[in-house]
Amino acid sequence: MVKAQRSAIPAVGHEIRARHEFRGMRTFEHYFTVPLDHFAPPGDASPGRGTPDHGGPAGETITVFAREYVSAAHSEEAAARLPWLLFLQGGPGGRGNRWGSLGGWSKAAAQDFRILMLDQRGTGLSTPLDRNTLPRRGSAAHQAAYLERFRADSIVADAELIRHTLESPAWTVYGQSYGGFCALSYLSFAPGGLRGALITGGLPPLTGSADDVYRATYQRVAARNDEYFGWYPEDRDAVERIARHLRSTPEPLPDGSALTVERFQMAGAFLGGNTRVDSLHYLLEDAFVDTAGGPRLADTFLEQLHSVVSRRSNPLYALMHESIYGQGQATNWSAWRMLGEKPWFRPDAEPLLLTGEMVYPWYFEQDPALQPLQEVAELLAAKQDWKALYDPQVLAANTVPAAAAVYSDDIYVDRDLSLQTAAAVQGLQVWETADFHHDGIADDGEGIFARLLGMVRSGGR
């Protein structure tokens, strides 16, 4: 059996630094002090935590930030009696949502819960990691060792420590995408902390390799390309025109780096959802302007595309993405290797296809925000001894009420692999639907949340 739990809940610092009330809600800004390494044996001085110049001394702590959202429809006294709902954002590397008002699923949830929106460690205000902060850890080897402590098992340990600090009984967790992966780790390692688990677009394989994931998702991305170009046949020509142009004409992005064909293919990120897939058409129609020197890519197009292809705001995604599938084996740039089996996604292929969420080693050559992290990325890709992130035995005997929305055509989290996982978790109820894509909760968040909550309550304890 996998053992990732702590033996005891250590002391934690907690401070509420601000509270605000606006647009029908109250917010509270929570800062927690948590151990960098929840699982280090006493006196451990391995790379990443052994010396102040590298990982810091044994017992080093980091900050984890979370914002509490409460509907102002509840009095403060009534709100204090509401149960907690912990939201785990997608990623890895995505900070918690910043809301200007309650709407969609949050409006529905705030009727019955206090919502705790977590900035998972390394993101947002939670001791953030990027090209500027990571070098403080020392060598690339020390940086890589530090990053090992930023996966789902540590996120779950943070959550449990926070739950105890808030003096909350078992709470409900709502996981979107990678947040659903974290929810499965929670069910594996700390099920006693959960009253229920709601998951949308986020049931990971419990075993197997990253290669299995990318073989499946490449197929779904190809099908999504076909679907998109069926809706917008003129965009087939637009994509080819842009690719031909980039092969012959240098086009710098706003940060000065080159827009290459393979970086342009990253515009396929728009294909992953129903709420923004049509925005790809609007992007492509902005592509060219006529200049004295001939057609060039428009500044408006380059500015929009830069926000898609740069990882400046979430470098953890590029660094850690394949590691979320790493359990007891190296990923070795799985998406890049599987590209050899799917040559129609190559940047020199005709017709050119757009890619999905895959991370490739050339990211760390072409993206200025990632270039300082190239050596670290190579070490993480070659790491052989990733710890298991799930406990199949515990999940097979699960007693926590759980429900998951599985999207039939999800290009990021494969439907077939998701259903295999669902079958391996006792009591996990599945709602499969083709009405939504990966961004379902942005499409009809209120309806999806209500349905999953109803399923959990009907099978609740």
| Peptide bond just before 351 cis, omega within 30 deg | yes
Residues near 414 by Cβ (< 8 Å), separated by ≥ 6? 213, 216, 217, 220
Residue with tokens 């109820």: 429
Q: Cβ of 249: how many Cβ atoms within 10 Å?
A: 13
Cβ 417 vs Cβ 217: under 8 Å: no
E strands present in 264-389: 288-291, 294-297
| CA separation for the pair 245, 64 (Å, rounded) | 45
Give the pair of three-digit tokens for residue 247: 């092969």
Burial (CB < 10 A; 0-12, 13-18, 19+), residue 446, is middle
Q: Of 106, 177, 188, 334, which one is the catalytic site residue?
A: 177
3-state DSSP assignment of residue 395: helix
Long-range pairs for 374-380: beta carbons < 8 A, 24 or more residues apart: 375/140, 376/134, 376/140, 376/143, 376/144, 376/147, 376/319, 377/318, 377/319, 379/140, 379/141, 379/144, 380/144, 380/147, 380/319, 380/320, 380/322, 380/323
Is 385 annotated as catalytic?
yes
| 366 and 423 Cβ atoms separated by less than 8 Å | no
Could you count the other beta carbons within 10 Å of the beta carbon of residue 177? 26
Query: Is 438 labeled as catalytic in the residue annotation?
Result: yes
Catalytic pick among 237, 385, 416, 435: 385
How many Cβ atoms from other residues are within 10 Å of residue 78's Cβ?
11
* Coil, helix or strand at residue 308: helix
State the catalytic residue, choosing from 74, 142, 437, 438: 438
Annotation says 348 is catalytic: no
Residues designated catalytic: 177, 385, 438
